[in-house]
Amino acid sequence: MATYSLANERLRALEDIEREIGAILQNAGTVILELSKEKTNERLLDRQAAAFTASVLHVEAELSAQIRYLTQLPGGLTNSNSGKK
């Protein structure tokens, strides 16, 4: 039972990362749209750039944690097939 709980937790973490990547793309789109204007809103650009940077750093850290976890599993097995060969 604990194995399924851990697997579900890992899946939820990946879903959170996926949502954050969507937010990153949205921030980038907002910045590009703002830069295309003749007169840009500097404060909006600063906020969006800061949000973009923070999100990228968070996604990078979370993906690194997921990769570290996967590389520590014995023999390259995942929790879902740990008893199978």
Q: What is the pLDDT of residues 49-69, one digit of tens each?
A: 999 999 999 999 999 999 998
Residues contacting 40, CB < 8 A, separation 6+: 34
1-71 — its CATH code?
1.20.58
**Where do the domains of the chain lie?**
1-71
Residue with tokens 């008893």: 83
Q: Where are the alpha helices (DSSP H) in 1-85?
A: 2-35, 42-71
Per the confidence metrics, is the pTM higher than 0.85? no
pLDDT of 1-53, one tens digit each? Answer: 567 888 899 899 999 999 999 999 999 999 999 999 999 999 999 999 999 99
| 77 CB-near residues (< 8 Å, 6+ apart) | 84
